[in-house]
Structure 1
Amino acid sequence: MRARVTKDFGWKMRADILRRDAEQKLLVPLREHRWTAEIERVVEEGEYVVITAERNGFKRRLALVYSSGTDNRVFRRLDEEVDLTLFNGQPYKLDEFTRGVSRPVRSADDFHHHLVEWNQLSIPDKIAPAAIHPEVAEEAPAGPRERRLLSEVPIDAIWSRLSRLKSATLARKAVDARAAASGFQLAAASLQTKGDGLAYAVRNAADYFALKDVGNLSQRILNLYYGCLAFAFAEMLAASDGPAELSSIEDMTKQGHGLWTHDGQDEGFGGLAVGPTGSGFFLNWTQSMGVSPVATMKKKPRQASDLLAAPEGSWATMEQLFARIPEVGDLFEDVFSGSPAWVSPSIEHRANQRTGLFGGNDRAETSYILLADDSGRMTAETLVGLRGPIREITPLPSGSRARHFRAAVDHPDAEYWFSTLDVHRSPFGMGGLILPLFGSVTQYRAICFVILYGLSIVVRYRPSLWRRIQEGDLDHMRALVEAFLTTVERVLPEQFLESITGEKMSVGHPASLLG
């Protein structure tokens, strides 16, 4: 009885290996080439599996034996039943075991050669019948478009695509295309007013951004702030479920731009506090992005003690705002002593293993990533605030002043971990995961808008503070501000182009890897 159990166990193990290798080496490539293929049977006597495959009415049967050292009688039997016999592993005295066999007997690793031949026989013409590709034979469902832009000056390619939206006709087409991709049906009147408002808002934004080269730093800040505001108008109008006309957004701004400032506790630039109001444009804009809830105060603070009593996350200092801009991270470290509010994510190769023991279906539902903080100032407690399915934040040795953390990211419904996280992409190569602002805002363009608002307030209403930044004891802040403005001029047009059109942009230089 014991011997029988041992034999049965040995066959079960080899049968599992046969099924696994048949799936990986034969069924997967067959199905990839649109063959209908399945295991017909698994045979214990002789230890092999038989597979049937059919494409375009052309049928083939093949067998996979556990070893080339299989009894000759098995090979002879299969010679009469299948078109091709394959074996696992390396050949061992193959001529001896296959004597008298007329059909091919090959290693399973060589199957591709036969698959190419079968593909040609099953579809001798240049074009495959529609039935071979039923998923494309039917009308494909609408979806967002991806634009691939190459230019010697990438920002010029961005602006050329934005400039087309200055035309009311093309703006209406863009709104209509975005609605169709989202499954919306817009009324003709809404399409008309949305397109007209979008075109005006984009023209307005372009006019402000075109003045970026003015020599006056104060005017440059104001131009970019109002240009960003105009782009935000355009984004809301372009959304299928957004306002139907420009006047609706104007009504929002009658309550203010939705932000406030307070000199803070130290009355310096870094301590200047900025927060959202419970009404007005900013809150409406973030809600249109799907951001909720945004932490707000019931009323604007009148004194520093009001800030201390405010709900957590309902305001941030200028230092904390600049901490969320990866592109100026090095200057932030030079100017401020606080911790940055972003971290650079990448796959942590050592912590990830193939989930299939034998290399089968190994798409992981959890991936371990590395979170790197080059400043060396962040802590695991700080990173707890990151949005998304992140857990198990564990400090790791870095071998440098940087701080490294390992974290698990659950992504059961996505193939890749980064699909579930709001990772900021930057043409400057300084992308990252940004800690949310005001409790829930991670959109980079919205964070930049808040910073520009704070700067515009300083420029217009804090002349003594602004003079210190321009030419006084706070002139080190000026370098940070100028670097931030340069970042805004390059990054925000691309981000707004994506948010307005609903299209993904891949932008690069012709000589880059993108080309």
Structure 2
Amino acid sequence: MKADSGARMRLNLLRQGAERKVLEPLRLHGWIAAVERESAGGEEFLILTAARGDASHRVALLYSCASSNALYKQLATEVEHIFFNGEPYHQESYASGLDKPVGPVDEFPALLVQWNEASRNGKFADVASEDFGPPTRRSMRILLSETPIEAVWLRLRQLQSVTLAEKMIADRARRESASLEPSVLRAKAEGVSYALRNAADYFRKGDEHAIGQRIVNLYYGTLSFAFAEILASPSSADTLETLENSTKQGHGLYTVDAVDDGAKAVAVGMLGSGFFPAWMAAIGVTIAGLPSRRPRSPQDLATVNADTWILVEDLFATIPEVADLFADIFDTPPRWIRPAGDMEANLGQAFGPGAPRSQSYIKLVDQFGRLTAEDIARFPGPISDIREVDSKGDGRHYRVLVKHEHLPQPWDALELHHSPFERSALLLPIFGVIHQYRVICLVLLYALSIIVRYRPSLWRRIQDGDLDHLRALIDAFIAVAERILPQAFLETVAGQPVFARQPAGF
């Protein structure tokens, strides 16, 4: 029984080696490859066949070079080439008197090239045509430019053409298996073109004005981008007219001055009517308990659902790209955290046979050391087993378990934010459920634009008074928004990821 068990084990190893080193490479090049015969009678070997076009071949694969000369001679009458596992061991002795080539299986790739060359049809491989379905464009856009934001704006300007916008929406509809009537497609294209022209005008004019005017322009430019995002979606029934009608009911946001007279304690909230809730519905975000009337005082604010409003300070805390300035100004914890790999915790499960991992450990890094384990538990995603670990003086580190069944990596199970300034960050949602960075930026821009337009005394204090420390934070946020938002909306309008980098940035 022991001998039989050993023979079966060796034959199984031989099959695995044949599949990896011979059969898979053959199939990769269009050959029909299979195991014709196998033997475990003391000296394990396989007979392998391959066919492509009019060509056919048979080779043998031995478990060991140290097989009997009789076996070598027998196989030489059946195959054109004999391979063996491992390195040669007295090959001249064991394989003497043969008229067929013998060598280690690692030499098979060179033989495969010869077979391919001999079986070609002119410049073409002699293989049957395969049906890969209709050809499609790459599912992402990679933009290389010395000035990446200029490459982004170039693509956005292209979509200001109704013709190109129509082609983009039609292509997106095909990818999403959506059907659009020609009149609907044309109306969407005209709306996208108009909205993107508006956005470009507002963003461009912002460069020419003082910070207050830049804030107002960026808010309205971002609002126009949101219009374009909704109209470009093949699944959206909205038209430019219906969106304009929604704004007649207001923007769907409001601000309330809190008890503190500083800008950080201004609250901004969401209403049940107007453009903002229409936008959220279009992107699949549902928020319950929205007020129908605008709260006008801190006392009114206390009566509405706390998940429907947020302080300006907390909005800034959700922007990772200005985190260093935020930490210098405020003592409160950030509302984002950076994920990192945790090889030490995953070492025992990283390798070996079996099903792919369905859960992995990662680290969540708070570089400012202000987040507690209870704060970590509030972040979204399939996170559990939260435990603080030694950060070695680098803020605070938390080890967490992420469940990612049917997903290759734990990051794929988390809604991560990426930008040119922050490789990846997990954001604490605003209004309870909104994690989309572009939406968070619009809400903050709305609040700042209200301060600029309707709270001139407060804005003057920020400009050159006792709140001037906030000016640097606002300046930094505006610079970040001008770089990130156009690219973020290019992605949502075109319906595909966009990677914009300098040529050496990859």
CA distance in 2, matches of 1:222, 1:44: 80
Check 1:348–1:401 CA distance in 2 against 1; reply closer, same or farther (3 A cut).
closer
Check 1:201–1:59 CA distance in 2 against 1; reply closer, same or farther (3 A cut).
same
Give the superposition deviation at 1:212.
2.1
Residues 143, 181 of structure 1: 8 Å contact kept: no
Amino acid aligned to 2:447: G
Matches within 5 A, 1:471-510: 471-510=464-503
CA distance in 1, matches of 2:413, 2:396: 24
2:7 aligned with 1:7, yes or no? no
Give the superposition deviation at 1:7.
2.1
Check 1:244–1:289 CA distance in 2 against 1; reply closer, same or farther (3 A cut).
closer
Instruction: Report the equivalent of 1:398.
Output: 391
2:211 aligned with 1:217, yes or no? yes
Give the superposition deviation at 1:281.
1.3
Instruction: Report the equivalent of 1:19.
Output: 15
Residues 57, 80 of structure 2: 8 Å contact kept: yes
Give the superposition deviation at 1:228.
0.2
CA distance in 1, matches of 2:397, 2:360: 16
CA distance in 1, matches of 2:329, 2:350: 49
- 2:307 is paired with a residue of what secondary structure? coil
Instruction: Report the equivalent of 1:108.
Output: 105
Residues 148, 505 of structure 1: 8 Å contact kept: yes
Instruction: Report the equivalent of 2:427.
Output: 434
Matches within 5 A, 1:378-389: 378-389=371-382
CA distance in 2, matches of 1:362, 1:143: 33
Q: Equivalent of 2:171, from 154, 177, 186? A: 177
Amino acid aligned to 1:208: Y
Q: Equivalent of 2:298, from 296, 304, 313? A: 304
Q: What are the superposed Cα offsets for residues 413-448 of structure 1, whole Å, 9 maximum, x if unpaired? A: 344443443322211244312122222211111110
Q: What are the superposed Cα offsets for residues 223-260 of structure 1, whole Å, 9 maximum, x if unpaired? A: 00000000100111111122442111011112211112
Instruction: Report the equivalent of 1:272.
Output: 266
Residues 119, 126 of structure 2: 8 Å contact kept: no
Check 1:109–1:129 CA distance in 2 against 1; reply closer, same or farther (3 A cut).
closer
Q: What are the superposed Cα offsets for residues 255-314 of structure 1, whole Å, 9 maximum, x if unpaired? A: 211112222343422222222112221122122222234663465434435545543532
Check 1:393–1:356 CA distance in 2 against 1; reply closer, same or farther (3 A cut).
closer
- 1:81 is paired with a residue of what secondary structure? coil
Matches within 5 A, 1:259-408: 259-293=253-287, 296-297=290-291, 299-308=293-302, 310-352=304-346, 364-408=357-401
CA distance in 2, matches of 1:317, 1:144: 41
Question: Which consecutive unaligned segments of at least 5 residues does structure 1 have?
Answer: none
Amino acid aligned to 2:198: N
CA distance in 2, matches of 1:160, 1:424: 24
Check 1:146–1:354 CA distance in 2 against 1; reply closer, same or farther (3 A cut).
farther
Instruction: Report the equivalent of 1:166.
Output: 160
Residues 273, 292 of structure 2: 8 Å contact kept: no
Check 1:390–1:96 CA distance in 2 against 1; reply closer, same or farther (3 A cut).
farther
CA distance in 2, matches of 1:272, 1:99: 90
Check 1:367–1:242 CA distance in 2 against 1; reply closer, same or farther (3 A cut).
same
- 1:449 is paired with a residue of what secondary structure? helix
- 2:265 is paired with a residue of what secondary structure? coil
Instruction: Judge which range, 11-20 or 231-240, deviates more.
Output: 11-20
Instruction: Report the equivalent of 1:423.
Output: 416
Residues 224, 452 of structure 1: 8 Å contact kept: yes
2:88 aligned with 1:91, yes or no? yes
Amino acid aligned to 1:63: A
CA distance in 2, matches of 1:57, 1:415: 41
2:251 aligned with 1:254, yes or no? no
CA distance in 2, matches of 1:448, 1:505: 19
Matches within 5 A, 1:51-70: 51-70=48-67
Q: What are the superposed Cα offsets for residues 130-181 of structure 1, whole Å, 9 maximum, x if unpaired? A: 625x144x423x5664222222211111111111122222222222222122
CA distance in 2, matches of 1:176, 1:456: 36
CA distance in 2, matches of 1:9, 1:481: 73
CA distance in 1, matches of 2:305, 2:153: 40
Question: Which consecutive unaligned segments of at least 5 residues does structure 2 have?
Answer: none
Instruction: Report the equivalent of 1:30.
Output: 26
Residues 424, 434 of structure 1: 8 Å contact kept: yes
CA distance in 1, matches of 2:250, 2:264: 24
Give the superposition deviation at 1:485.
0.3
Check 1:461–1:405 CA distance in 2 against 1; reply closer, same or farther (3 A cut).
same
- 1:454 is paired with a residue of what secondary structure? helix
Instruction: Report the equivalent of 1:139.
Output: 134
Aligned CA RMSD, in angstroms, stands at 2.6
How many percent of aligned residue pairs carry the same amino acid?
Answer: 43
Check 1:419–1:461 CA distance in 2 against 1; reply closer, same or farther (3 A cut).
same
Residues 58, 122 of structure 1: 8 Å contact kept: yes
Check 1:26–1:267 CA distance in 2 against 1; reply closer, same or farther (3 A cut).
farther
Instruction: Report the equivalent of 1:79.
Output: 76
Instruction: Report the equivalent of 2:182.
Output: 188
Residues 171, 199 of structure 1: 8 Å contact kept: yes
Amino acid aligned to 1:445: R
- 2:263 is paired with a residue of what secondary structure? coil
